[in-house]
Amino acid sequence: MSTSTPRRSARPANPPTSPAVVHPMSNDEPGERLPERRRRLLDSTPIHVVSWADFQEVLPARRYPDIDLVKALEASPANANYKQLPDGADWSSTTDEKAVFAHLGPVCDAIIAACTAAARKHDPKAQATLKFVLQPNLAPHDVSKPDKSRPDIAGMDAEPHPPENDPLFVEAKPLNGRRSPPSYRWIFMSITGEWKLYWKPDLDGRLNDENTQQVVWGLLHQLWTSPDRLYSFAITCEGFHARVWLAHREGVLVSDVIHIHDNKADFLRILATFAFATREDLGWDANMQRLGKGALRDAALTLAKDYWTEFPDEQGPKLWLPIKLEIARKQYVLAALIADGRARAICGSGCRVFLAYELQGSDLCPLRLAIKIVWRNATRDSEAATFAQVKEAVLRLPDVTGEVFNQHFTNISASQDFEGISISKRALRGATIGNCHLITRRQPAPGPVEIVGSHRYSSPGNSEAVGPRKRPRIEPVPAVSSADGPYMLTDRVYSALVMDSVGRPLHHVHNLHKVFKVLAHVSKGQAFLHRAGKAHRDGSPANILVAEEDIGLLMDFEFAKTLFSDEGTHGERTGTPDFMPVEAFKAQFLWRQYGYGETPTPFRWHSGHEIEWHMWIMVWMLYKHVAKDEAGRTEVRAQRTAGLNRIFGPDTAEERKTLLYERTPLADLGLDFEANTTFFTAMRRVAQLALKIVNAHKEMAKKELNQANNLVVWTPVFDESHQACEWLATLFADVETVPLVPPPAEGAQEA
């Protein structure tokens, strides 16, 4: 079927000029407006344009009757409506967008009715599974994640429950003394759509920039706010150009354009395919079952309430619909969402962590568990397998028992890769995509990059991180596209882990006395890894779980590895950018000296890099907090914020190198804190630790890389790191600290 540029002359005029609309700010992205968030999301999302012929292979299976959809529409009164869609025989260039939807609605209804009538000849109960809601009155939102945007088209379940029991609706807050009508929620949308009256290919000459931003936003929200969503679909139309979109955890596939009149059968097929697709076809996870009203759901919500009381969240408890899930032949109930920072971008692991309880019969076992669900790179070892190797090595130490191990590390008690759920098998339905055109808005970094972590700036901000974040400057840069070539997919496998410990990530803790007590405890766990010849290699506050009695548990062992070995399926350049050791970020040794023509030693992690990421967390925590009596001082907040943005982030490794390697270590950081204050004294103590680390790096640079030398050089520094944390905990014992709040933007006034 031809998908060339349409030939018709009766095309819509250029869009009228209108004033810019100021969108409301999002609750979870302070200071960043909605258009900026959408553009930043587009910047980080690879979009592959493929032919319509190839894209048809990844559409849901056809489950409507094999009828001639064009003839069915022509036999319907809705055919007159179809002719009035853009570029149709009766299209008027003065028609506005509202009128377009008034014509599209009867067309959708007619196609569904024709397919239903044909299906009921064989099954009297046959019906569509989806209905199209055009231009929903209110923005879709979730109680815990308000969002002021809305799609033009929402594909919803065809038969909702009665309104008073209908989870499709949620009561909106009273507005100006009046209660607004209920609104649709993202977590109950099976597809979304965007329609623009005008064709304006201002993104690489192929896509409409505004429509692309909006549809990618909708695709992300389907994936992000719905933990039982594996992939998501959308439809767009610009004038008479229609496309279908598919988002999965490696990016977005979009079909080349089809003309809604020249390719009428294809466009009607799209509507019928989605209307009769199963939930599984549309990307929902059949392994997860949302709990309906009843005793089990009530019990789960009660346990979740108890958890939030013990571990309060800065933004209040997250409301949640409990979900049942089977892992390794055991049933669990996911009672609350603890963290979802890595799920807030389309690309990546989509990692979420849940509070969970084992289901024994019809009752919930009261023992708290954590379940981590992630899209794992199919070519890499599972975290459970890597953790088992680490655990075996640490337990071989003579002074480490199982009880001691569990006091320092989050134990993984069960895991499962869900059979058949991978991007290639499930989202792409086993199809082979031929030629494609890659569109992105930012030039990718050269060379392989294997940086991970919840503070990754190329994706939407981590909701769990509190305080100011450095944002890339938003500019209308032109798209950067690759040459056409084969579709290259890094496949991912859907996996789950059951962990025996539950708490909250370290960046949720704002009492610095407790923070440094936890970091002191973590340093002991690091020392066990050091002695066992292992490295964690992904240190961050998000990977330190704070349990009761100031215990800090190391978690997330996906990138752990035996020191100085080539085992495993991960490279050496790993970690969370904010806290990566400088040598790891540079992927080279910086202290080793070589003679003329001598080949540099290939970079390998050693225990000094483990101590370094721990030290950068100490620095980060000092910058992220202020004494409560200083919290209102704008100059203190501005100075601290400037330092934070200078030191931390994916583009600041050179600054950290300068601070640590080319001057007296960290000496200048004291200038970001007022002299003779607790924070100034604390930074001076961290600088003393940094000097020990630098001196040990210099000593290690003179030695052969092996575990014997590693133990000799770094064991004393682990002791120093532990002592520094204990000293800092004592320093902050009587100081009340609060998270840093960024100062107002230039020209703005504080509330």
Cβ proximity of 355 and 334 under 8 Å: yes
Task: Give strand ranges (E) for 120-163.
Answer: 130-134, 153-157
Q: DSSP state, 175?
A: E
pLDDT tens digits for 260-296?
Answer: 999 999 999 999 999 999 999 999 999 999 998 889 9
Which residue in this structure is represented by tokens 């179809």?
82
Residue 200 CA to residue 390 CA, distance in Å, equals 55
In this prediction, residue 1 has a pLDDT band, given cuts at 50, 70 and 90, of: very low
The pLDDT value recorded for residue 594 is 78
The pLDDT value recorded for residue 744 is 55
Q: DSSP state, 91?
A: -
Amino acid present at 232:
S
The pLDDT value recorded for residue 749 is 38
In this structure, the strands spanning 251-255 and 47-50 are parallel
| 3-state SS class at 196 | strand
Name residue 371's beta-bridge partners: 354, 498
| Mean pLDDT across 702-710 | 94
Residue 647 CA to residue 664 CA, distance in Å, equals 16
566 class by beta-carbon count within 10 Å (0-12 exposed, 13-18 middle, 19+ buried): exposed
Cβ proximity of 194 and 211 under 8 Å: yes
Which of 341, 739, 384 is closest to 542 using CA atoms? 341
If you average pLDDT over every residue of the chain, what do you get? 83
Which residue in this structure is represented by tokens 């919290």?
631
Cβ proximity of 169 and 182 under 8 Å: yes
Choices 1.10.510, 1.10.3710, 1.20.120, 1.20.5: CATH for 505-751: 1.10.510
The pLDDT value recorded for residue 450 is 38
Percent of the chain with pLDDT over 70: 81
Residue 248 CA to residue 245 CA, distance in Å, equals 10
Lowest mean pLDDT among 92-106, 346-360, 369-383: 92-106
Residue 612 CA to residue 621 CA, distance in Å, equals 14
CB count in 10 Å sphere of residue 687: 19
CA dihedral 36, 508, 582, 523 (to 10 degrees): -170
Which residue in this structure is represented by tokens 């190329």?
458
- Which comes out higher in pLDDT, residue 532 or 6? 532
181 class by beta-carbon count within 10 Å (0-12 exposed, 13-18 middle, 19+ buried): exposed
- Which comes out higher in pLDDT, residue 140 or 547? 547
| Tokens, residue 265 | 């059968």
pLDDT tens digits for 574-595?
Answer: 778 889 898 888 888 888 887 7
The pLDDT value recorded for residue 93 is 80
Residue 287 CA to residue 75 CA, distance in Å, equals 42
- Which comes out higher in pLDDT, residue 481 or 117? 117
Query: Hey, CA dihedral for 731, 736, 740, 744, is it positive or negative?
Result: negative
| 750 has a pLDDT exceeding 60 | no
Helices (runs of H) and strands (runs of E) counted in the chain: 17, 30
Q: Report how far Cα 552 is from the mean position of its chain's Cα atoms.
A: 24
- Rounded to whole angstroms, what are the CA distances from 54 to 429, 487, 545? 12, 11, 45
- Which comes out higher in pLDDT, residue 482 or 385? 385
| Mean pLDDT across 463-471 | 32
The pLDDT value recorded for residue 86 is 92
In this structure, the strands spanning 435-440 and 485-486 are antiparallel
| Mean pLDDT across 28-38 | 60
- Sketch the domain layout of the chain as residue ranges: 505-751
In this prediction, residue 655 has a pLDDT band, given cuts at 50, 70 and 90, of: confident
| 3-state SS class at 163 | helix
The pLDDT value recorded for residue 572 is 64
In this prediction, residue 663 has a pLDDT band, given cuts at 50, 70 and 90, of: confident
pLDDT tens digits for 143-194?
Answer: 555 555 678 898 888 876 444 455 545 545 444 455 555 566 778 889 999 9
249: which residues sit within 8 A by CB, 6+ positions away?
223, 231, 346, 347, 348, 349, 350, 375, 423, 492
In this prediction, residue 20 has a pLDDT band, given cuts at 50, 70 and 90, of: very low
Cβ proximity of 550 and 521 under 8 Å: yes
- Rounded to whole angstroms, what are the CA distances from 126 to 189, 268, 276, 471? 22, 19, 10, 51
In this prediction, residue 645 has a pLDDT band, given cuts at 50, 70 and 90, of: confident
The pLDDT value recorded for residue 206 is 86
| Mean pLDDT across 111-127 | 95
